[in-house]
Amino acid sequence: MKRILFLTLPFLAVLLILSGCRSFRQKAEPTEMREISHFFFTESGGSDFDMRTSYELNYADGFYTAVIKPSGVKEKKARTVSVDADFVDRLGAILKEFDVEDWNGFHEMDYDIMDGIGFTLDVAFTDGRIIDAVGYMEWPEHYDDAAGAFYDLFMDAFNKYR
């Protein structure tokens, strides 16, 4: 009897863990695609790769997923989280508030600075519009405000799922 109990306990523990994961997944409700289908923003400076910041949002199979890699966090410690329609709508509001769509086509570099800061922004909308912007020691209008708002939004999601 003890042997049967000993052998079934690990099996029951695995079932309990899996049922907990399944119920967590079931709590996430599918989200209808919003205005943004893809978002990618990265900012890096210097030669320390871990200091790079990266925020990504993708839509697939009815769910939005954010991949968040804050500055100072190793790449393998980036966090992938499910986000809801409110998150995506707030991101869209940031893009509108700071006229980020006007950044499309921005491609300016200051080649005189060897160890500076650069950024890349890539956004795809469901209606086919895109925003494609790149800069190195040159920034479009409202850059600091928009980058700060991206940080606040994505870090809220990052910290929510610690």
pLDDT at site 22: 30
pTM for this entry: 0.78
pLDDT at site 1: 43
> What whole-number distance in Å separates Cα of residue 7 and Cα of residue 27?
32
Other CB atoms within a 10 A radius of the CB of residue 44 amount to 19
In the chain, % of residues over pLDDT 90: 62
Domains and CATH numbers, the chain: 32-160 (3.30.1560)
- Answer for the pair 54, 41: CB distance below 8 angstroms, yes or no: yes
In the chain, % of residues over pLDDT 70: 78
What band does 25 get if pLDDT is binned at 50, 70 and 90? very low
